[in-house]
Amino acid sequence: MALYWAFRVAARALCLLPQRVGYALGRGGGIAAFYLWRGGRRRCIRNMLHVTGGDAARARACARSSFAHYGCYLVDFLRFERMTAQDVRRRFQFDGWPLVDAARAGNGIVFVTLHFGNWDVAAAALAEHGLPVSVLAERFGNARLDRAVVQARERLGMQVVPADRMGPGILRALQRDDVVALLIDVPQPGGGVGVEVAFFGGTIVVPDGPARIALRAGAPIVAATAPRLGPWSDCYRGEVEVVAFTPSGDREQDARALTQATMHALEDMVRRAPEQWYIFRSLWPADRGGGEAG
């Protein structure tokens, strides 16, 4: 109950404040967390070392900026239930609609993204464009908070599918020719081991569920991100790439290869704006258990 009312009070307060003041609070809180949360700082810097090719100074700067950007994302998240369709149109810049429309050919589309930029605004933009959108979402521990967040997303045209119903819920959506949106830089649902892929010169383990579902439904995968246009901007730019892939018929090999192709596309997007990737857990297994980097 306390979490729900904290959410309500914070959301109300931020809606009354000027945008720049809200972002100043978010950035300040993010930077404070960078210095106070030693474990998160260490893990984020180690992740950024892979992205920067071992440049420790740049990795630390990217990690610090990532915390600041995440603070701004949280401000946007708290304001999300006040967002209107007009706000979505103003805040999301994208010239790739013909590419997205062409990819949707009867079996839906699997959009795969990361904790990067603002995935909520991107999903809302898909719905505002007229596409039926299903988003996979983790449940909040507080039922009232969970309901408030789900209702805010549904009000902007999204259908929310609980993460524990990923398989049947997402397959049904694709059978309706919906667009589904999934985050891939999360632990494998149900404690599964996932699949090993190459990413920024190392090996990581990510869920292969998006690839398996896309293959089963005959749907294309579109790798996508929505980076913020500037540190103080409330606008985002859509970046997408249809992942080119021809199945071989070997289910296990195809799931691994399609996941790898998806991660290659996302790697290019992260490289262009690493400071907008919010990755505060150890992603590369070789980094786990080490001391602070940078």
pLDDT of residue 13: 85
Same domain, 186 and 65: no
Strand partners, 225: 239
- Residue 115 lies in domain: 91-275
Same domain, 142 and 15: no
Same domain, 120 and 77: no
pLDDT of residue 163: 67
Same domain, 128 and 263: yes
Type of residue found at 266: L
Q: Which among 82, 105, 128 is the end of a domain?
A: 82
135 in a structural domain? yes
Q: Comparing 81-95, 147-161, 208-222, which segment has the lowest mean pLDDT? A: 147-161
User: Is the pLDDT at 293 greater than 50, yes or no?
Assistant: no
Same domain, 195 and 219: yes
289 in a structural domain? no
Asked if 256 and 212 count as a contact pair (C-beta separation under 8 A), the reply is: no
User: Is the pLDDT at 6 greater than 80, yes or no?
Assistant: no
Tell me what percent of the residues of the chain surpass a pLDDT of 90.
71
Same domain, 192 and 221: yes
Strand partners, 7: none
Q: For 146-157, what is each residue's pLDDT tens digit? A: 787 788 888 888
User: Is the pLDDT at 108 greater than 50, yes or no?
Assistant: yes
Same domain, 58 and 106: no
294 in a structural domain? no
- Going 22 to 27 to 32 to 34, the CA torsion angle's sign is positive
pLDDT, mean of residues 258-276: 98
101 in a structural domain? yes
Q: For 173-213, what is each residue's pLDDT tens digit? A: 899 999 999 999 976 555 556 899 999 999 999 999 999 99
Same domain, 97 and 225: yes
283 in a structural domain? no
User: Is the pLDDT at 132 greater than 70, yes or no?
Assistant: yes
Same domain, 157 and 43: no
Tell me what percent of the residues of the chain surpass a pLDDT of 70.
92
212 in a structural domain? yes
Same domain, 70 and 98: no
63 in a structural domain? yes
Q: Which among 82, 105, 126 is the end of a domain?
A: 82
Total domains in the chain come to: 2
Q: Which among 54, 82, 110 is the end of a domain?
A: 82
Q: Give me the residue label for tokens 């300040």.
A: 28
217 in a structural domain? yes
pLDDT of residue 193: 65
Same domain, 191 and 233: yes
Same domain, 251 and 105: yes
